[in-house]
Amino acid sequence: MTALTLRQVPPPVEKAIREEAAQRHISLNKAVVSMLEETVLGKKKPGIQRYHDLDWMSGTWSAKDTADFQKHLAESRSIDPELWQ
């Protein structure tokens, strides 16, 4: 097999590689090879599915949107005593 050297790996990519290696208890090299196989060759890891259905929404809420959501969520979690009589 050919050996490759990677330089200037962005911190988020490094973090993802390290997390994958730690989660699967494998070396960084094996994690990188596995992730490349999955991405480039379309080989999926058995038993693991990754979903990207709502990625486009990630990070789009403003502080006001978040506060409004939290407020409405708190209201929906409260118990209405009249309904429980």
17-66 pLDDT, tens per residue? 999 999 999 999 999 999 998 888 877 666 666 677 777 777 888 899 99
- Rounded Cα distance between 50 and 42, Å, is 13
16 HSE (CA, 13 A, CB side): 9
Q: Where are the domains of the chain?
A: 11-79
Give the contacts of 44 (CB within 8 A, at least 6 positions apart). Answer: 38
20, two tokens: 């994958």
Residue of higher predicted confidence among 68 and 54: 68
- Rounded Cα distance between 22 and 41, Å, is 23
Question: Does the model's pTM come out above 0.75?
Answer: no
**Distance of alpha carbon 2 from the chain centroid:** 30
